[in-house]
Amino acid sequence: MKKLINDSNDIISEMLEGIVSAYPDSMRQVEGTTCIVRKDAPVKNKVAVVSGGGSGHEPAHAGFVGKGMLDAAVAGEVFTSPTPDQVLEGIKATDDGSGVLLVIKNYTGDVMNYEMAAELAESEGINVEQVVVNDDVAVEDSSFTTGRRGVAGTVFVHKLAGAKAEAGGSLAEVKGVADNVIANVRSMGVALSPCIMPTTGEPGFELAEDEVEMGVGIHGEPGIETKKLTSADDIAEELTENVLPELELNASDEVAVMVNGMGATPEMELYVFNRKVQTILADKGIKVHETIVGEYMTSLEMAGCSLTVLKLDDELKELLDAPSKAPAFRK
C-alpha cells in the first residue's frame, strides 16, 4: 500500500487543517472539534444547514461549506459517523437563532448520532430540523442501513437547501426544499476496484481484475451483482435504466445529472460514461437542465462512478442555478 500520509492516527486532524489552510478566507475549524464552518458563521438572520459524516468521501463534506451551501460540515473517522458532541458543536457554531437543518445520509450511525445531537441542541433552546437522504436505488436494508442508502444525491440536497437558506427561507421552507429534493433524486453506483483503508492498508472488499460491483455503496458495501467488466456504454445504460424508472419521468420533464467519480476514475472515463447517459436521456425526450461531472462524493481511491438524476421543478431549478462559493461546488 502506498499512501500520502504521515501517521494514520493523525490523518483526519491533518486533513482538516489542510482544508482550512487552503481556504482561510471562507472557512474555519471550530477549535477542539472536527467541525468546519463558514468563516462568517453564525450568519445573521439565516437558517444554518449542517451536514457531515465519515471521512474518506472528499470533497464531501467540508468542500461544500461556503455561501450558498453548507454552514458547517462535521467529520468523523474514515467511514465512521462523527460523534453527537462533535455534531452539537457544529450546530452551536452556526445557529444565530433562526434554526438549523441537519442533512443526514441514511446510515445507521449517522442517523443515530445526528438525532442525538439534535436532542442535545433542542435542550439548549436551539430549533433543529432534520432530513435523511436515501437516494440509492440499488439496495434496501444494507449492512449499514435500514432502508436505502444516502449517496451522491446528498450533494444536491446541500446545494438546493443551502441556496434556499441563503435566500432567507425559514427553517420550515428550507426543510421543505430538502424534502422535495430527497423525493426527486435517485442514484446508483458501480465499482471497478476497491478502496484501501488507510488505517489497515487492506482493501475494503474484493474484486477480480475482470469484475465490477453494480450498485456498490460509498463505503464499499455490496451492491446488487458482481459481474464481468463490460463497456462504458453498457454500464451507463444499466445504471440509467435502474435510476430513471424511480423518478417516473415524462418527456416534458427537466432533470439535473451528476456523474460522480468514486476517487480513482479519470475524468476522461467519466465523460465517456456521461456521453451515453446523455444519449439515453435525449432518446427518451428528457431535457437536461444541467450536467455536473467530477468528484463530489468519493470512496477514498475506489475506481468507479455513480449516476445521480434529480427531477426538477421551477423552484428547484432556480435554486440549482443560484450562486455558490463552496470550494467544491462553485457557481
Q: What is the pLDDT of residues 196-223, one digit of tens each?
A: 989 888 888 889 999 999 999 999 888 8
CA pair distance 60, 65, nearest whole angstrom? 9
Which residues are known to be catalytic? Answer: 57, 219
Q: Which domain covers residue 105, as residue numbers?
A: 8-183
Claim to verify: residue 74 and residue 155 sit in the same structural domain: yes
What pLDDT band is residue 54 in, cutting at 50, 70 and 90?
A: very high
Claim to verify: residue 39 and residue 172 sit in the same structural domain: yes
Q: Which amino acid, residue 47?
A: V
Claim to verify: residue 205 and residue 143 sit in the same structural domain: no
Claim to verify: residue 105 and residue 192 sit in the same structural domain: no
What pLDDT band is residue 2 in, cutting at 50, 70 and 90?
A: confident
Claim to verify: residue 66 and residue 92 sit in the same structural domain: yes
In this structure, is residue 327 part of a structural domain?
Answer: no
Q: Strand (E) positions, 106-204?
A: 128-133, 185-193
CA pair distance 281, 292, nearest whole angstrom? 15
Task: Identify the residue whose cell numbers are 435517485.
Answer: 186
Q: Are 71 and 94 in contact (CB under 8 A)?
A: yes
Per the structure, the count of domains in the chain is: 2
Claim to verify: residue 16 and residue 100 sit in the same structural domain: yes
The enclosing H or E element of 197 equals none
In this structure, is residue 72 part of a structural domain?
Answer: yes
CA pair distance 64, 52, nearest whole angstrom? 10
Claim to verify: residue 12 and residue 115 sit in the same structural domain: yes
Q: What are phi and psi of 90, to 5 degrees?
A: -65, -40
Claim to verify: residue 81 and residue 229 sit in the same structural domain: no
Claim to verify: residue 162 and residue 240 sit in the same structural domain: no
| Cell numbers representing residue 114 in the block | 445526528
CA pair distance 53, 111, nearest whole angstrom? 10
In this structure, is residue 330 part of a structural domain?
Answer: no
Claim to verify: residue 214 and residue 298 sit in the same structural domain: yes
* pTM for the model: 0.97
Claim to verify: residue 261 and residue 300 sit in the same structural domain: yes
Q: Are 170 and 150 in contact (CB under 8 A)?
A: no
